[in-house]
Amino acid sequence: MQKIAVIGTGYVGLVTASCLADMGNRVICVDNDRKKLENLKKGIIPIYEPGLEELIIKNRKLKRIFFVNSIREAAKESDIIFICVGTPTQADGGADLSAVEKVASEIARAMNGYKVIVGKSTVPAETGDRIKRTIEMIKRGKNNFDVVSNPEFLREGSAIHDTMYPDRIVIGVESKRAEEVMRKLYRPIKAPIVVTNIPTAEIIKHACNSFLSTKISFINAIANICELVGADVEKVAEAMGLDKRIGRQFLNAGAGFGGYCFPKDLDAFIHLAEKKGYDFELLKSVRKINNDQKKLLMKKTEDALWIVKNKNVGVLGLSFKPHTDDIRNSVSIEMIKILQHAGAKIKAYDPKAMQKSKAELAKVTFCKSPYDAAKNSDCLMILTEWEEFYKLDLQKVKKLLRQPIIIDGRNIFDPVKMKKLGFVYKCIGRC
């Protein structure tokens, strides 16, 4: 049993804390939002993540997870402190690290023995060094601590599984003592551990996320060529994926990537490279291709509808991907705003993300079912690939639509079958 503090109860913080508690540790979670803390104590979770609620309730009962609002209190009572606060994008594309700095200063003031301070938030390279310097400055010489970079690779929607069964654990350390603490902490997890220095660990995180984003933009660029020559991107991805060096994952062409991580991390990495004097042109293209996918969808909509103004568009899917209610940088939310700008009237449905979308979108009719969204719409647009959309009764959808037009930004149906059913079916990279 280790005594752990987790600062920040966002996505990464809550998942990390509940998994560490479930491994038998004593975990104190800290947040400055009192209402959120009160809810968490009652087992009310601010996000939808499969399995998270059960894990928190279970470990509350076992007295292994606690919620407080004082960094000081948590830091004093813990040997390992995870920093999981937000690092939002600033206007210049760089990451805003003010929350990380504030937490580091508070920890420094609370230090009452050897502490291992672990950076888990996605941060630009060199943040570990900054955290160390901030603490040293306040501690003035009594350096009884180590800073560790332990990047997080969890995906929303499968966050608990990704944390308990990761492909690898990356630990950036400067001392053998900190390495031992981290190895002991992760002993219950069966995964290869890569131990390296702090800047390398930070770059590993940047490299992984930007590589995955590159894979998506690459297949989207291929999809665009496929449309021009009459090829099928699904088959291209299938055959490419059978090459073990490439792999099939993250080769789904579509409306592009969104979410809290990829767009933000891409901006931050491009920004960091620029600051260091390297023009990361490849990643700038990745970003451009991703943004252009929305223009492509708009063009397809105009081709199908001719005039978009005053047309009813039914939108299926609001979250940035299935199995989450997260709408941060959701392609769907951005697409709705583009369509509204062109004068379209939107009827939208999502199984989980409607509540959050209501705060973000104006003048949208939120529907009870996908069929409700299709009813009297001039076209139906699919922007998140929730399972229930694959199982739609398409004959019924056709009857409900004013015109049998489906614009599929996630390639969930077979174009040949759709044509046979009498739909004008526009998808990505398949003719």
Active-site residues, by number, are: 261
Tokens of 10: 């966002």
Binding region for ligand UDX (CB under 6 A) out of 173-181, 257-265, 368-376, 415-423: 257-265
Residue type, 429: G
Interaction with ligand UDX in 312-341: which residues (CB under 6 A)? 320-321
Q: Which of residues 48, 145, 257, 423 is near ligand UDX by CB under 6 A?
A: 257
Minimum CB distance to ligand UDX smaller for 320 or for 349: 320
Q: Which of residues 186, 218, 250, 371 is near ligand UDX by CB under 6 A?
A: 250
Binding region for ligand UDX (CB under 6 A) out of 138-146, 178-186, 248-256, 356-364: 248-256
Which helix H or strand E contains 105, and what residues bound it?
helix 98-110
Minimum CB distance to ligand UDX smaller for 37 or for 272: 272
- How many residues touch ligand UDX under the rule CB under 6 A: the total is 20
Is 234 a binding residue for ligand UDX by CB under 6 A? The answer is: no
Return all residues near 178 (Cβ < 8 A) that are at least 6 apart: 116, 146, 147, 148
Is 259 a binding residue for ligand UDX by CB under 6 A? The answer is: yes
Is 13 a binding residue for ligand UDX by CB under 6 A? The answer is: no
Is 430 a binding residue for ligand UDX by CB under 6 A? The answer is: no
Return all residues near 75 (Cβ < 8 A) that are at least 6 apart: 5, 81, 106, 107, 110, 111, 115
d(CA 270, CA 251): 22
Q: Which of residues 13, 166, 254, 409 is near ligand UDX by CB under 6 A?
A: 254
Which helix H or strand E contains 346, and what residues bound it?
strand 345-349
Q: Please provide the distance, in angstroms rounded to a whole number, between the alpha carbons at the two ends of the chain.
A: 58
Q: Is 111:40 a contact under the CB 8 Å cutoff? A: no
Is 148 a binding residue for ligand UDX by CB under 6 A? The answer is: no
Q: Which of residues 252, 312, 377, 411 is near ligand UDX by CB under 6 A?
A: 252
Our CA dihedral for 31, 44, 366, 405, rounded to 10 degrees, sits at 90
Minimum CB distance to ligand UDX smaller for 66 or for 320: 320
Binding region for ligand UDX (CB under 6 A) out of 153-161, 186-194, 339-347, 419-427: 153-161
Q: Is 10:99 a contact under the CB 8 Å cutoff? A: no
d(CA 329, CA 191): 31
Q: Which of residues 156, 202, 350, 378 is near ligand UDX by CB under 6 A?
A: 156
Phi, psi (deg, nearest 5) at residue 350: -150, 140
Return all residues near 263 (Cβ < 8 A) that are at least 6 apart: 257, 287, 290, 329
Tokens of 284: 């700038």
Pairing mode of beta strands 364-366, 345-349: parallel
Q: Which of residues 154, 171, 392, 407 is near ligand UDX by CB under 6 A?
A: 154
Pairing mode of beta strands 405-408, 424-426: parallel
Minimum CB distance to ligand UDX smaller for 216 or for 346: 216
Is 216 a binding residue for ligand UDX by CB under 6 A? The answer is: yes
Minimum CB distance to ligand UDX smaller for 38 or for 387: 387
Q: Least distance to ligand UDX from the beta carbon of 393, Å?
A: 25
Interaction with ligand UDX in 185-214: which residues (CB under 6 A)? 209, 212
The DSSP bridge partners found for residue 119 are 83, 149
Binding region for ligand UDX (CB under 6 A) out of 60-68, 141-149, 244-252, 420-428: 244-252
Tokens of 306: 């001719």
Residues forming the site for ligand UDX (CB under 6 A): 152-156, 209, 212, 216, 250-252, 254, 256-259, 261-262, 320-321
